[in-house]
Amino acid sequence: MTPSSASDMHLGHKDFYAQNDKIYVATDCIIFGFDDGDLKLLVFKRRVEPNSGIWSLIGSFVKLGEDVDEAARRVLKEITGLNQLFLEQSKTYGKADRDPGYRCLSVAHYALIRIDDYDKQLVEEHGAFWYTLKDLPPLALDHDQMVADALDMLRRKSRYQPIGFELLPEKFTIPQMQKLYEAIYQRELDPRNFRKKVLSLKVLVKLDEKDKTSSKRGAYLYRFDSEKYQELLESGYNFEI
């Protein structure tokens, strides 16, 4: 911030900041998970006014000595118990009337977690709940828009990076992977074309194990080769599925 007029230049450091309005900065986390063929969102009921009792994203005010991204990671750690997960800023929301409680900016982040990895007791203690996107209730404040924007970013990013691997278990079948991308895109994909495309990316390692939960013949399990993916990513390879 720089002085906006000649008169401001004569103010002391503290006086210059003191004469300006104060606003809060918050972070809200859009936490996506994948389970039973559905993309899900973790939400909880607000415990403070305004909109107490309304379903909401999980967030927090940013502390004075805390980076915004650090605040988002703190929120995710407190609610899921996870430290290492995919987290990215989506957008900043700053309409003057977005929060009737006080003037507040929110820097939204979206996170991707494997739905079996999180601390279920922590989630339960916070009163949080997983909703499929199609069953998601109306959310407080501008959180519906935050979810829509984050989902749009997820869809666009998944077209050129295999971001979906952040949502899959360590070992997965290609049909499971297809269900994930169908959930992200909200449309059906041709099985043959999908298999051909993902195998051509050469970022999957075929295992000697099979998943026989859906058929006697079973489907081979794969794992993600993160080193190979990183090499291709740095070379500018197109991952569009």
Name the amino acid, one letter, at 70: E
Can you tell me the distance from the alpha carbon of 4 to that of 144, in angstroms, rounded to the nearest whole number? 36
Last residue of a domain, one of 158, 179, 210: 158
- Note the pLDDT of residue 14: 65
Last residue of a domain, one of 123, 158, 193: 158
pTM of the full structure: 0.83
Distance of CA 4 to the CA centre of its chain: 38
Mean pLDDT, residues 135-148: 96
The pLDDT tens digits of the residues spanning 6-54 come to 555 555 566 777 788 889 999 999 999 988 788 999 999 988 888 888 9
Q: Token pair of 117, please?
A: 């990895």
Is residue 105, in this structure, part of any structural domain at all?
yes
Same domain, 65 and 178: no
The pLDDT tens digits of the residues spanning 73-91 come to 999 999 999 887 889 999 9
Alpha-helical regions (H) of 86-134: 120-125
Mode of pairing for the β-strands spanning 128-132 and 58-61: unpaired
The answer to whether 162 touches 194, Cβ cutoff 8 Å, is: no
Structural domain of 89 = 16-158
Last residue of a domain, one of 137, 158, 179: 158
Domain total of the chain: 2
Comparing C-alpha atoms, which of 111, 65, 59 is closest to residue 89? 111
Is residue 137, in this structure, part of any structural domain at all?
yes
Q: Token pair of 128, please?
A: 């949080």
Same domain, 180 and 97: no
